[in-house]
């Protein structure tokens, strides 16, 4: 039972490159989330998926797209990376309760 | 706009000290308030509070919510170096989303 897993752990991109961050959970949770964490800013919600087949924008969606591939997997795509997207990205999932379970994070550096 | 504000942003104490971390909120729809601890990587759940005045306790950690004054505190007694972490407060707004504060970085020195 791995909980929430994310790949990759670390990535360096050049401005304008694209990439997809992968997230999977094995807890049969309906809701999944993508956050970014920047110093002094806490966790800010990028996108979330309340259930398979639905996605919604969070606080800071610009520059990102998401796909809820199935109940287990929720990916985050940067089509044209910018230095402002340098951050640590966390995926989380939530079941019937209020608690969110977080993955280990992806550290992204955009040069 | 929904806001969650934590204070202080950073705190350095010595082992054995007692600390109080603060979280105030201003949101349109309140469901619950959650505290998380973030060490090196992923935040992990500590407490969920939904009712005013009822203290939640786990070992040396305790937390209480005041829904009238719109704040919560997290207390840690007899701090240890293992308590060093970022403590995050989050307010659950609806069934699907939560707003997080910036976090308090606690450093406990031996």
Q: How many CB atoms lie within 10 A of CB B17?
A: 15
| Greatest alpha-carbon span in chain B | 42
User: Which residues from B are below 8 Å from A102, CB to CB?
Assistant: 42-44
> ∠ CA(B72), CA(A105), CA(B108), 5° rounding?
50
CA angle, corner B89, sides to B83 and B91, nearest 5?
A: 155
- Statement: residue A1 has pLDDT above 90: no
Between CA B43 and CA B104 the distance in angstroms is 13
The 10s digit of each residue's pLDDT in A21-30 is 999 999 999 9
Residue B68, burial from CB neighbour count under 10 angstroms (0-12, 13-18, 19+): exposed
Asked whether the beta carbons of residue A41 and residue B42 sit closer than 8 angstroms, the reply is no
Give the pLDDT confidence score for residue B87 in this predicted structure: 97
Separate counts of helices (H) and strands (E) for chain B = 0, 11
For residue A10, pLDDT beyond 70: yes
Is B96 in Cβ contact with A50 (below 8 Å)? yes
The per-residue pLDDT for range A56-109, each reduced to its tens digit, is: 998 899 999 999 989 999 999 999 999 999 999 999 999 887 788 999 999 999
A60 in contact with chain B, both atoms CB, cutoff 8 A: no
The owner of tokens 């019937």 is A96
**Hey, how many other C-beta atoms are within 10 angstroms of the C-beta on B95?**
12
Nearest CA in chain A to B87: A42
């Amino acid at each position: 039972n791995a909980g929430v897993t994310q790949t990759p752990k670390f990535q360096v991109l050049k401005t304008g490159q694209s990439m997809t961050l992968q997230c999977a959970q094995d807890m049969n949770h309906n809701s999944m989330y993508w956050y970014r964490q920047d110093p002094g800013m806490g966790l800010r919600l990028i996108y979330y998926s309340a259930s398979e087949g639905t996605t919604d924008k969070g606080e800071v969606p610009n520059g990102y797209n998401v796909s809820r591939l199935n109940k287990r997997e929720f990916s985050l795509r940067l089509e044209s990376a910018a230095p402002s997207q340098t951050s640590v990205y966390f995926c989380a999932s939530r079941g019937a309760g209020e608690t969110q379970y977080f993955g280990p994070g992806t550290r992204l550096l955009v040069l | 706009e929904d806001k969650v504000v934590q204070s202080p942003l950073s705190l350095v104490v010595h082992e054995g000290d007692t600390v109080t971390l603060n979280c105030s909120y201003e949101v349109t729809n309140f469901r619950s308030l959650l505290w998380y601890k973030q060490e090196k990587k992923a935040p992990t759940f500590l407490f969920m509070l939904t009712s005013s005045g009822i203290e939640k306790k786990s070992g040396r950690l305790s937390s209480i919510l005041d829904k009238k004054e719109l704040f919560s505190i997290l207390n840690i007694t007899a701090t240890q170096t293992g308590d060093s972490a970022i403590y995050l407060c989050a307010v659950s707004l609806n069934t699907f989303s939560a707003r997080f504060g910036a976090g308090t970085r606690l450093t406990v020195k031996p």
